């Protein structure tokens, strides 16, 4: 079917409503007005067929599917980050913080602070008392350790669910990265660099490298020394 351009113009207001008559969103009064107009306007009847076909084509946009997981993980990571940056009173409290803040835990808190102070003192004494030893922060973490504050770049990354632990270890080891925190509910890991990287070019190269790995669903910069670089 082709449309003869001569005589295809209809200036009636109802003609301008035709697209929304086609998609069914006109209020009843306007839909009725268009219906009545169509009864006596051949131009608009031809247009109606044309518009219906156009709508069908526009809605049939192929088999491309979008997987929301990576984007969702990124958004949840942002939320995690924002939540962490909020003052404690305003933030949805992470479990450990909320436990400490319960009034019923006050006594435990006092006791813990004393024990912690003693522990820190003993530790400080033992480190300071060994001249010549490497006094850099230890690069190990026990299961009960608090989340370390890594220096240099932080990255957020999500790995393929099917990725094996050995593969993850190899991926991180080859790039001298380690897990600072995670995974979050959304599967987001926070990564730190064993060799602190703060130069933007090197950060970008590292991200490009990670993103090129088939098991990395997304990788984004998180912070440099606690400051967001996004």
Tokens of 99: 């436990």
The Cα–Cα gap between 90 and 81 comes to: 14
- Applying CB under 8 A, the span of 14-22, 115-123, 159-167, 201-209 interacting with other proteins comes to 14-22
Does 19 sit near other proteins (CB under 8 A)? yes
56 is a contact residue toward other proteins (CB under 8 A): yes
Shortest distance in whole angstroms from residue 221 CB to other proteins: 15
Q: Determine the interface stretch with other proteins among 76-84, 107-115, 145-153, 201-209 (rule: CB under 8 A).
A: 76-84
Residue 186 Cβ vs other proteins, minimum distance, rounded to whole Å:
8
User: Judged by CB under 8 A, which of 12, 31, 41, 79 binds other proteins?
Assistant: 79
* Residues 6 or more apart in contact with residue 186 via CB below 8 angstroms: 72, 73, 75, 76, 77, 80, 158
Q: Which is nearer to other proteins, 61 or 133 (CB)?
A: 61
**Which two tokens mark 101?**
């803040």
Residue located via tokens 């070019």? 201
Q: Which residues contact 31 (CB under 8 A, 6 or more apart)?
A: 21
CB of 142 to other proteins, least distance (A): 29
Gap between the Cα atoms of 175 and 177, Å rounded: 5
CB of residue 129 to other proteins, shortest distance in Å: 47
Give the shortest CB-166-to-other proteins separation in angstroms: 30
Give the shortest CB-16-to-other proteins separation in angstroms.
Answer: 5
Q: Which is nearer to other proteins, 129 or 161 (CB)?
A: 161
Residue 222: its H or E element: strand 216-224
121: buried, middle or exposed (CB in 10 Å: 19+, 13-18, 0-12)?
exposed
Closest CA to 157 of 52, 86, 77: 77
Residue 74 interacting with other proteins (CB under 8 A): yes
Q: Quick check: 71 binds other proteins (CB under 8 A)?
A: yes
With CB under 8 A as the rule, give the number of residues binding other proteins: 43
Q: Is 39 in the site for other proteins (CB under 8 A)?
A: no
Region of 12 please: left (phi>0), alpha (psi -120 to 50) or beta: beta
The site for other proteins (CB under 8 A) is made up of 1-5, 8, 16-17, 19-20, 22-26, 47, 49-59, 61, 64-66, 68, 70-72, 74-76, 78-79, 92, 185-186
């Amino acid at each position: 079917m082709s449309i003869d351009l001569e005589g295809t113009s209809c200036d009636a207001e109802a003609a301008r409503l035709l697209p929304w008559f086609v998609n069914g969103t006109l209020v009843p009064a306007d839909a009725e007005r268009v219906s009545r107009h169509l009864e006596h306007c051949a131009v608009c009847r031809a247009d109606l067929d044309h518009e219906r076909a156009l709508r069908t084509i526009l809605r049939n946009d192929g088999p491309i599917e979008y997987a929301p997981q990576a984007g969702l993980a990124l958004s949840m990571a942002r939320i995690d980050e924002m939540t962490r940056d909020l003052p404690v009173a305003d933030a949805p409290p992470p479990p450990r913080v909320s436990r400490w803040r319960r009034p019923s835990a006050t006594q435990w808190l006092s006791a813990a602070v004393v024990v912690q102070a003693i522990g820190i003192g003993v530790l400080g004494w033992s480190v300071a008392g060994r001249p010549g030893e490497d006094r850099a922060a230890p690069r190990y973490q026990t299961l009960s350790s608090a989340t370390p504050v890594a220096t240099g770049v932080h990255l957020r990354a999500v790995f393929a669910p099917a990725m094996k632990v050995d593969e993850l270890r190899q991926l991180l080891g080859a790039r001298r990265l380690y897990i600072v925190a995670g995974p979050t509910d959304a599967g987001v890991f926070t990564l730190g660099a064993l060799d602190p990287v703060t130069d933007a070019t090197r950060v970008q190269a590292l991200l490009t490298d990670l993103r090129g790995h088939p098991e990395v669903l997304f990788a984004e910069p998180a912070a440099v020394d606690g400051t967001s670089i996004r």
